Chain A
Amino acid sequence: MKPGMLKAYIHVIKLAFIFTLKQSMTDAFILFGIFVQPLLIAIMALFILGDQGDELVIFIVVGSGLTGLWDSVLFQSGNSITRERWTGTLEVLVAMPTPIAVIVFGKNLAFVTQALGSMIVAYTFASIIFGYPLSIESPMLFILSIVLTVLSFVCLGLVLATLFVLNPDVQRWQNGLEFPVFILAGFLFPIAILPMWTTPLSYILAPYWAAVALHLSSSGKPNILEMGLPWVMMVLLGVLYLFLAFWLFRKMLFKARVDATLSGQ
């Protein structure tokens, strides 16, 4: 990569991020998904857990928040390239000199941020209405964990986007991946209750380490060392996903140029 390129790529990511958000904000259907749906889930979760103690409330809020993030990665980031193909913009993007991975990174960042933002709004709102305390035990550690969570989810979304373009049965895969990851990543209950053989699967999922970091820092006062493992794993897996995605993008785009599938009908 030439010097100066990084600056150009960051500008691309910034604009892809802004314009993706701008497009969502004018879509009533997406707006419903962003604001109303998480609110309903939050109200329900808080309602069911009413009198079981503050700690459990925050555990559920963080856990169900993670499920929302995973959904947005799976369905929105996962479809990001496919959607550009339908509108005929993929072809235009590919014929330009910026790598598609850089563009999709910016788009996925917008999807994940959007999901995160909407949940923060929803939970705050719900806790005000119902008067539940939503206190984070270790705010600084929590915020850093959120940042790493967002970045590693974005990288995972890049991998999914390429896999889903290469795969004709996208929807089935998406539906099939939704709940297993909720469970394997321990969003809502600890993976200790799962059979042993699934543990390695959990460990290669950044969402698992995100759940560990977010649960630890929201419901307790862990020390930096305890946080170190999930943080390092999120960074390592994020970088791994990134390399994997760049490689898959190259494969996918070359195949699309051979098969003439860049412009979906």
Chain B
Amino acid sequence: MNTIEVRDLRRIYKTTVGVVRRKIKEVVAVDGITFDVNRGELFGLLGPNGAGKTTMIKMLTTLLIPTDGTANILGYDVVHQANAIRSRIGFIFGGERGLYWRLSGIDNLRYFASLYHVDPEVTMKRIPQLLELVGLSDRGDEKVEGYSRGMKQRLHIARTLLHDPEILFLDEPTMGLDPVGGREIRQVIRDLQSEKKTILLTTHYMFEADALCERVAVIDQGRIVALDTPEALKQGVSDLSVIEIEVFGVPEEVMNQIRNLPFVDTVSVEDLDQKQALHVHSAKGSEAIPPLLSALESVRVGKVTVREPTLEDAYVRLVGGKV
């Protein structure tokens, strides 16, 4: 038995559209997904906005009923044995909602611990340790409404460890954190990994997935488009190198021209402050630079560099230029 077993899972949302003629519109958020997560494994779910990651996590944490297919956590069915699952898992849904803003951080934790039936004495011992762990020791007695977004996020992380769960579902745990805060949370996640917790994580930060995850599944439009170790996924694009070109305002025609160059695999644009960075994937390596520059003739160009592909490049190729 695997810790998490997902078989042909589907989830359709029905929403009504239109005011006068109300029609039911169906959105297929998760479209037949199958995977397993082993005990003690740190597994990543990657994919563009709207790919179905959060929907997946909500089904596994018993908050959404799948439209089709099955999912088991520790052998318990997410639909019919939800209660057995709930006491054994921890979860974070990303963002700052889901806390009592008019209570202090400590009161929030006391309350949630009681809902997990943690003994009150154990709770009082564990709360200071957890606050320490997430770096909120000196703010725990303040009301949550005065917390910054990142502090609320950290409180969620403390909350999810109150009952020492075997399995953790972390939906974008580092979203909106400053770089140092993000690094601290990644360290917490690594520590949990070394305690042999099973962790399912979603993130939009590819370096984070690369640094933490043992395996990742890339999903796009509700389907798995790749499932492997980060190394293997990078191997898949090892034939490519990435040419990064700094540009200052690049018109759409020029972009299309570059896309159509025979040796160009994919192009993505990253918006930086005043400029953009073009990431061009090509098997030709530095030989591709001269023709690229001639295509960019009419554009002001900055630094040009060639580098080895990263997980992000593998990801971009898989989901087709969308970041």
Residues of A within 8 A of B (CB): 5, 8, 11-12, 15-16, 19, 22-23, 26-27, 87-89, 91-98, 103, 254, 257-260, 262-263
Residue from B14, B87, B98 with most neighbouring chain A CB atoms (10 Å): B98
CB–CB A23/B102 < 8 A = yes
CB–CB B98/A91 < 8 A = yes
Chain A, residue nearest B84 (CB): A97
CB–CB A87/B86 < 8 A = no
Interface positions of B from 102 to 128, Cβ below 8 Å from A: 102-103, 107, 110-112, 114-117, 120
Contact of B100 among A11, A89, A94, A263 (CB under 8 A): A89
What residues on A are CB-neighbors of B107 within 8 Å? 19, 22
30 residue pairs of the A-B complex, CB under 8 angstroms, read: A8-B114, A11-B120, A12-B115, A15-B110, A15-B111, A15-B114, A22-B102, A22-B103, A22-B107, A27-B102, A87-B101, A88-B93, A89-B100, A91-B93, A92-B98, A92-B112, A95-B62, A95-B63, A96-B115, A96-B116, A97-B86, A97-B115, A97-B116, A97-B117, A98-B115, A98-B117, A257-B64, A258-B65, A260-B13, A260-B58
Q: CB of B315 within 8 A of chain A?
A: no
CB–CB B86/A96 < 8 A = yes
Q: CB of B91 within 8 A of chain A?
A: yes
What residues on A are CB-neighbors of B183 within 8 Å? none
CB–CB B103/A23 < 8 A = yes
Chain A, residue nearest B92 (CB): A92
Instruction: Give complex CA distance A27, B103 in Å.
Output: 11
Q: CB of B99 within 8 A of chain A?
A: yes
Residues of B within 8 A of A (CB): 13-14, 58, 61-65, 83, 86-87, 89, 91, 93, 95, 97-103, 107, 110-112, 114-117, 120, 143
Chain B, residue nearest A100 (CB): B115
Instruction: Give complex CA distance A22, B144 in Å.
Output: 13
Instruction: Give complex CA distance A262, B114 in Å.
Output: 21
CB–CB B91/A95 < 8 A = yes
Q: Label chain A's interface by main secondary structure.
A: helix
Nearest CB on B from A246, distance (A): 14
Instruction: Give complex CA distance A262, B62 in Å.
Output: 11
Known contacts: A95-B63, A97-B87, A258-B65. The answer to whether A87 contacts B97 by CB under 8 A is yes
What residues on A are CB-neighbors of B89 within 8 Å? 95
Nearest CB on A from B287, distance (A): 51
What residues on A are CB-neighbors of B65 within 8 Å? 254, 257-258
Contact of A95 among B61, B95, B99 (CB under 8 A): B61
CB–CB A103/B100 < 8 A = no
Chain B, residue nearest A26 (CB): B102
What residues on A are CB-neighbors of B64 within 8 Å? 257, 260
Nearest CB on B from A21, distance (A): 11
CB–CB B110/A89 < 8 A = no
Instruction: Give complex CA distance A238, B117 in Å.
Output: 26
What residues on A are CB-neighbors of B61 within 8 Å? 95
Nearest CB on B from A228, distance (A): 37
Instruction: Give complex CA distance A239, B3 in Å.
Output: 40
Known contacts: A15-B111, A260-B13. The answer to whether A23 contacts B100 by CB under 8 A is yes
Instruction: Give complex CA distance A204, B87 in Å.
Output: 38
Chain B, residue nearest A98 (CB): B115
What residues on A are CB-neighbors of B120 within 8 Å? 11
Nearest CB on B from A90, distance (A): 9
Chain B, residue nearest A16 (CB): B111
What residues on B are CB-neighbors of A19 within 8 Å? 100, 103, 107, 111
CB–CB A94/B63 < 8 A = yes
What residues on A are CB-neighbors of B117 within 8 Å? 5, 8, 97-98
Residue from A8, A23, A97, A262 with most neighbouring chain B CB atoms (10 Å): A97
Chain B, residue nearest A86 (CB): B97
Chain B, residue nearest A10 (CB): B114
Contact of B115 among A103, A257, A258, A259 (CB under 8 A): A103
What 4 new A-B contacts, CB under 8 Å, besides A12-B115, A97-B116, A259-B14? A15-B110, A96-B116, A98-B115, A260-B58
Instruction: Give complex CA distance A27, B111 in Å.
Output: 20
Instruction: Give complex CA distance A167, B313 in Å.
Output: 48
Instruction: Give complex CA distance A193, B73 in Å.
Output: 61
Nearest CB on B from A258, distance (A): 5
Nearest CB on B from A76, distance (A): 15
CB–CB B63/A91 < 8 A = yes
Instruction: Give complex CA distance A5, B115 in Å.
Output: 11
What residues on B are CB-neighbors of A98 within 8 Å? 114-117
Instruction: Give complex CA distance A87, B99 in Å.
Output: 8
Nearest CB on A from B88, distance (A): 9
Nearest CB on B from A172, distance (A): 20
Chain B, residue nearest A262 (CB): B63
Nearest CB on A from B116, distance (A): 6
Chain B, residue nearest A94 (CB): B63
Residue from A8, A257, A259 with most neighbouring chain B CB atoms (10 Å): A257
Chain B, residue nearest A11 (CB): B114
Nearest CB on A from B200, distance (A): 14
CB–CB A88/B116 < 8 A = no
Residue from A89, A94, A254, A263 with most neighbouring chain B CB atoms (10 Å): A89
Instruction: Give complex CA distance A87, B93 in Å.
Output: 13
Chain A, residue nearest B145 (CB): A26
